[in-house]
Amino acid sequence: EAGVTQFPSHSVIEKGQTVTLRCDPISGHDNLYWYRRVMGKEIKFLLHFVKESKQDESGMPNNRFLAERTGGTYSTLKVQPAELEDSGVYFCASSGGAFSYNEQFFGPGTRLTVL
């Protein structure tokens, strides 16, 4: 079974540009999460989808970040315009079931560098 996939694996952009990250969860997983790790800091939650609905977006840093999950399958995270502090590794995870203790399966991450 294919795991969670993320694209691209690396992205280098200039400040002010737009970047879109994509995540394909494990087939059948209703829950999809975005996290990010900024250099030297803890992994931080960004948001949680249940199917196509945003269940919790309390971790989104500001309105430059827009996440979508059309049709309840893959998700995109767009950063527009990108700032230097957006650099980091963006992780996507998915889980099945309806309990908070269900395992979250992680993708390999997208390393974003904003110059």
Partner 1 sequence: AQRVTQPEKLLSVFKGAPVELKCNYSYSGSPELFWYVQYSRQRLQLLLRHISRESIKGFTADLNKGETSFHLKKPFAQEEDSAMYYCALSGRSNYQLIWGAGTKLIIKP
**Residues contributing to the site for partner 1 (CB under 8 A):** 3-4, 31, 33, 35, 41-45, 48, 55-56, 58-59, 91, 93, 95, 100-101, 103-109
User: How far is the C-alpha of 93 from the C-alpha of 108, rounded, in Å?
Assistant: 9
Task: Report whether 6 contacts 112 (CB < 8 A).
Answer: no
Pick the closer one to partner 1 by CB: 43 or 66.
43
Q: Could you give the 3-state DSSP secondary structure of residue 88? A: strand
Pick the closer one to partner 1 by CB: 83 or 103.
103
Pick the closer one to partner 1 by CB: 18 or 102.
102
Query: In the bound complex, what is the minimum distance in angstroms from residue 115's beta carbon to partner 1?
Result: 25
User: How far is the C-alpha of 91 from the C-alpha of 98, rounded, in Å?
Assistant: 21
Query: In the bound complex, what is the minimum distance in angstroms from residue 27's beta carbon to partner 1?
Result: 17
- 48: nearest Cα among 100, 84, 10, 11: 100
Q: Which residues neighbour 88 within 8 Å (Cβ) at sequence distance 6 or greater?
A: 36, 37, 38, 39, 111, 112
Query: In the bound complex, what is the minimum distance in angstroms from residue 18's beta carbon to partner 1?
Result: 26
Pick the closer one to partner 1 by CB: 72 or 81.
72
